[in-house]
């Protein structure tokens, strides 16, 4: 059976660094509720329904999320994890409590968000401000990182592929040191009775795939949320770029057209390529008018995307039938599965219905 693994953002609790960089008590909800309509018909702000404006320090919230995800067909969460080098971590509390408490009893894996953080100047004047730099400090630091996460790797809930620990790296080509990191972790896994890792690097439209695999990765996943942009005529792409940069107006695509390029047979059907599906995309809560937006997303359209992705991965060996759900709770990107005030549980129901329809069709085909 296909494993659908949902990316999970932990930035829904205050931390001292965000208090300093943004404002006291800052969480992703601050961006979400302040979003403005940028054009006629633009749907903002998006507001949560069933789970409310939750705080991930509460175990009840984390349990409710997992129960909801499981009910509608999600196989596990991939918690974004931040290690900047030299023992510096951020936003680690929710996952640490999941690990230490044993709750929720729901499969998980980790994704290393290995990128620097900036306070971006979206208006086009001045420079972006570096908040914290992602550093690659060598083998000793990679070993320290491994042993910090070793309790998670030994947890019975950790997701595996071919008995290997599933681990995503957000920016697989960010540094030549990443291949050293991978070699170090593979060796440490064997030394600590963990067999091995199944390393997956994020890319889009298979770009850089050869280089990523040559760096030691087992697979890539295609984060093609707005891949439609790369399939436009050059003159149209230039027009959209100038509109964003000079007029400071968002680039807007129709979701129905965008999903034609979000998963594609010719690349996502390869055994070492994993498709990613998204219910929507609207980055304007974070980036304002200088953003890319998908409009007119509906649960029915998302259901079609789910079925398309399932059909593609069903042709692979069973152990390679993986789909990344991007994302569970990226409210600042308009990219979430959790219930909202517009569609309620519509996208969750579309996911479950898509899985059930695919299974019925497959069963009928097999029997006939």
Structure confidence by residue, pLDDT tens digits, 308-363: 999 999 999 999 999 999 999 999 999 999 999 999 999 999 999 999 999 998 87
The tokens describing 93, both together, are 């509390």
The residue count of the chain comes to 368
Whole-angstrom Cα Rg for the chain: 20
- Residue ranges of the domains in the chain? 3-367
In the prediction, which pLDDT does 362 show? 80
Q: Closest Cα partner for 37 from 252, 245, 237, 225?
A: 252
DSSP string, 296-352: S--HHHHHHHHHHHHHHHTTS-GGG-EEEES-SEEGGGTEE-S-BTTTBTHHHHHHH
The pLDDT score that the predictor gives to residue 353 is 98
Stretches in the chain below the pLDDT threshold 50: none
Express each pLDDT in 236-289 by its tens digit: 666 666 666 665 678 899 999 999 999 999 999 999 999 999 999 999 999 988
Residue 206, token pair as written in the block: 């298979």
Whole-angstrom distance between the N-terminal and C-terminal Cα of the chain? Answer: 20
In CATH, 3-367 is 3.40.50.11740: no
């Amino acid at each position: 059976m296909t494993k659908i693994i949902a990316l999970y953002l932990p930035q829904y609790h205050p931390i001292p660094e965000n208090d300093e960089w943004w404002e006291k008590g800052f969480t992703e909800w601050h961006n979400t509720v302040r979003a403005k309509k940028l054009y006629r018909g633009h749907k903002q702000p998006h507001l949560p329904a069933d789970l409310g404006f939750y705080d991930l320090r509460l175990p009840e919230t984390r349990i409710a999320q997992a129960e909801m995800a499981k009910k509608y067909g999600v196989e596990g969460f991939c918690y974004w994890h931040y290690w900047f080098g030299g023992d510096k971590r951020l936003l680690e509390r929710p996952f640490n409590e999941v690990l230490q408490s044993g709750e929720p009893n729901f499969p998980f894996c980790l994704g290393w968000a290995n990128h620097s953080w900036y306070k971006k100047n979206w208006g086009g004047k001045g420079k972006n401000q570096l908040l914290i730099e992602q550093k690659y400090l060598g083998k000793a630091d990679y070993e320290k990182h491994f042993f910090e996460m070793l309790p998670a790797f030994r947890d019975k809930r950790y997701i595996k592929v071919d008995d290997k620990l599933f681990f995503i790296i957000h920016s697989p080509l960010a540094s030549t040191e990443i291949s050293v990191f991978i070699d170090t972790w593979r060796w440490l896994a064997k030394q600590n009775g963990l067999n091995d890792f199944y390393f997956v690097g994020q890319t889009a439209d298979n770009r850089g795939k050869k280089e990523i695999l040559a760096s030691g990765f087992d697979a890539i996943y295609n984060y093609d949320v707005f891949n439609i942009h790369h399939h436009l005529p050059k003159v149209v792409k230039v027009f959209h770029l100038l509109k964003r940069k000079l007029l400071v107006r968002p680039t807007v695509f129709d979701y129905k057209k965008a999903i034609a390029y979000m998963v594609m047979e010719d690349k996502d059907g390869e055994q070492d390529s994993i498709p990613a599906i998204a219910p929507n995309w609207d980055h304007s809560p974070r980036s304002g008018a200088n953003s890319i937006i998908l409009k007119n997303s509906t649960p029915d359209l998302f259901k079609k995307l789910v079925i398309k992705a399932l059909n593609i991965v069903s042709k692979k060996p069973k152990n390679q039938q993986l789909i990344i759900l991007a994302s569970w709770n990226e409210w600042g990107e308009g990219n979430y599965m959790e219930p909202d005030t517009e569609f309620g549980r519509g996208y969750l129901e579309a996911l479950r219905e898509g899985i059930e329809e695919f299974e019925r069709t497959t069963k009928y085909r097999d029997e006939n």
